[in-house]
Amino acid sequence: MRTISENRCFGGVQGVYAHASEATGCEMTFGLFLPKEAEEQPVPVLWYLSGLTCTHENAMVKAGAQRWAAEAGIALVFPDTSPRGEGVADDAAYDLGQGAGFYVNATEEPWSKHYRMWDYIAEDLPRTLFSAFPLAPEAQAITGHSMGGHGALTLAMGLPGRFRSVSAFAPIANPTASDWGRKQLTAYLGADESKWAAHDSTLQLKRRGFDGPILIDQGSSDQFIDLLKPEALAEAIASTRQNATFRMQKGYDHSYFFVSTFMESHIAFHADHLLA
């Protein structure tokens, strides 16, 4: 692992690091905010998964999360959204290829060589983090925005016992029934739709649910709301009686202005469970 940068931030340190990933077969970059408490002891960690076209940097710079994490005494991890670099497959479209890994393990060519983002988030990056930094593996939570909200929800349900809580900002909630999903799942996993279900939070909520609390914020003026399909997830929450709060935020769109507005309440939500 190599250090790209470290900056003092709200009494802690915002770092950016790169490491050789076994899962993706290339160098991956991530951001990590450590609060001042990490100087004395391992601290709880909140994962933030970003959306389409993003890198590790978008939320790290735009979400305003460090202030609230510092007050709560929890770390923040900002992974990249896909493998990158020379020899890594890509596509001219913004919603496929680099910047659009969809947090799945691709099985189809040309994606299968590097696009193993499920394993990267579930196994590879945690192994690196917990061996190198003062983080408490028994106290993890996860959140994300858009494609990252999709990833946060599916990883939380797909890794029982890993995360104490999960939240999402405008997640891609029903990708098997949306153009933001069917295109990518076909490309990465093939045409057999039975292989897609594990990566659809609406379907997973109905099949297995999450053994913990969920918080969802969705802007009512989101320009992509028809692709996100929040109504499907809301119906699944109601029909399964999942322990969840779903908030439709009047007038908000899909941008980081929306994310930063509600970041404080999401971090407070997770802190309640991470520090319990």
Looking at the annotation, which residues are catalytic?
146, 222, 254
SS3 string, 208-235, reads: CCCCCCEEEEEECCCCCHHHHCHHHHHH
The span from the CA of 259 to the CA of 68, in Å, is 13
**Between the CA of residue 1 and those of 19, 21, 91, 125, 202, what are the distances in Å?**
4, 10, 28, 11, 37
Is 241 exposed, middle or buried, given 0-12, 13-18 or 19+ CB atoms closer than 10 A?
Answer: exposed
3-state class (DSSP) for residue 130:
helix
Instruction: Quote the tokens at residue 24.
Output: 């993706």
Q: Answer whether 101's CB lies under 8 Å from 113's CB.
A: no
Which residue, 123, 166, 168, 125, is CA-closest to 148?
Answer: 168
